[in-house]
Amino acid sequence: MDFIPAEPAADTPVFPPPSREPFWGYMDLLLMIGFAAGAFMAIAIITAGLMGLVPGAKKNIALWGLLLQVVFYGLIYLGFRFTLGVRHGRPVLESLGWRRTGFNLTIAAFGGIALAFVVAVIAGLLHTPQVPTPIDLFASSWITIALFAVFAAVIAPFTEELFFRGFLQPLFSRTFGVAAGILVTAILFGALHAPEYSWAWQYALAVAFAGAVFGWVRARANSIIPSTIMHGCYNSVFLIAFLVSKHAKLQ
């Protein structure tokens, strides 16, 4: 006689199957790449228009470049709003890991400072060439330096952590495992920063190392808040070092 499982009682709660973590997939990644490509093309067109139509735009290219970078990051966030918010009906920031955590945020802040010194030592051991850096491009005036400071310490870490450690790393970790997910994301993080440093591989490797540390913190904390704070403090060290160096040259 075949066994026939009993039907659940009418008042027995039926729970939906748990959703996978993360809930997005590689189709969503393609959509975000499309948003990024579209945003990049839009910024390029706007830049060309400014250079050709606005008198004196070339004299303030650093300021315009910084503002357009902020616009670009804003468009990336709109891409997340569509991909995660509209397509999946989920909250964007919480889904990407902007959530409370038990990780000590003070340790994250001081860890970012320490990491900057470690990366500087690594860069020295690799005989990293002296090439123009993003900070140098915005050193034309104290106004652009101040705006760049806000961008480098707050806006860039927040947006980059959303994309790399919030969006990419969980997806790659689900596919390849946590360690490989951190490594793949860090390599992409370093590679995408390479153009800012004239494609010097030493810079890309140093940035990838920093990305791997950010990724480890994100995985350990299950939140991007500590990695964002660490990232902001990390950037701030190099900014302060540049300002001290610039002030010394003016003496």
pLDDT per residue as tens digits for the range 197-233: 888 899 999 999 999 999 999 999 999 999 999 999 9
Per-residue pLDDT tens over the stretch 233-244? 999 999 998 888
Per-residue pLDDT tens over the stretch 24-59? 999 999 999 999 999 889 888 887 777 777 666 666
Closest to 109 measured CA to CA, from 17, 12, 235, 205? 235
pLDDT of residue 9: 56
Asked if pLDDT for residue 17 goes beyond 60, the answer is: no
Name which residue leads in pLDDT, 18 or 218.
Answer: 218
Q: Are 69 and 151 in contact, with CB atoms under 8 Å apart?
A: yes
The span from the CA of 249 to the CA of 220, in Å, is 42
Per-domain boundaries in the chain:
26-250
Name which residue leads in pLDDT, 40 or 14.
Answer: 40
pLDDT of residue 20: 76
Average pLDDT in the chain: 87
Alpha helix stretches (DSSP H) within the chain: 26-53, 61-80, 92-95, 105-125, 134-137, 142-150, 156-160, 169-176, 178-193, 201-221, 225-250
3-state SS assignment for residue 234: helix
3-state SS assignment for residue 14: coil
